[in-house]
């Protein structure tokens, strides 16, 4: 477990004290829900772009990486495609963590 310290304005301290820890858990879950929505949308966009490369080259990124065409376009596509695959993977990991948080 990680301990988190939250600083709040003195004016709302009473409200936070009355709600106890629940208010922080609920706030964190609300943030997670909003992040899930935008993250799913972004992941869909990334996967659509990845699918375009897979269609254009007729292979997966892993297969393409084993034999990148020795052309400017081949290297440019590898760089962009590499970014998309990495970003999608990171986003999937983030979504798994948000899923755990939401239970």
pLDDT of residue 11: 77
User: pLDDT tens digits for 27-81?
Assistant: 888 888 888 999 999 999 999 999 999 999 999 999 999 999 999 999 999 999 9
CA 39 – CA 31 distance, rounded (Å):
12
**Top-confidence residue, 21 or 72:** 72
Question: Which residues contact residue 57 at a Cβ distance below 8 angstroms, ignoring those fewer than 6 apart?
Answer: 64, 77
Delimit the domains of the chain by residue range: 21-102
Angle between helices 72-102 and 21-57 (to 10 degrees): 150
Question: Which residues contact residue 82 at a Cβ distance below 8 angstroms, ignoring those fewer than 6 apart?
Answer: 61, 65
Give the predicted TM-score (pTM) of the model. 0.76
Least confident of 13-22, 31-40, 62-71, 90-99: 13-22
């Amino acid at each position: 477990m990680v301990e988190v310290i939250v600083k709040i304005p003195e004016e709302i301290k009473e409200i936070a004290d009355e709600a106890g820890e629940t208010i922080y858990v609920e706030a964190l879950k609300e943030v997670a829900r909003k992040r899930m929505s935008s993250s799913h949308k972004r992941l869909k966009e990334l996967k659509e772009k990845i699918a375009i490369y897979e269609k254009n080259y007729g292979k997966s990124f892993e297969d393409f990486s084993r034999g990148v065409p020795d052309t400017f376009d081949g290297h440019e596509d590898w760089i962009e495609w590499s970014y998309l695959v990495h970003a999608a993977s990171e986003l999937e990991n983030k979504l798994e963590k948000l899923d755990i948080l939401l239970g």
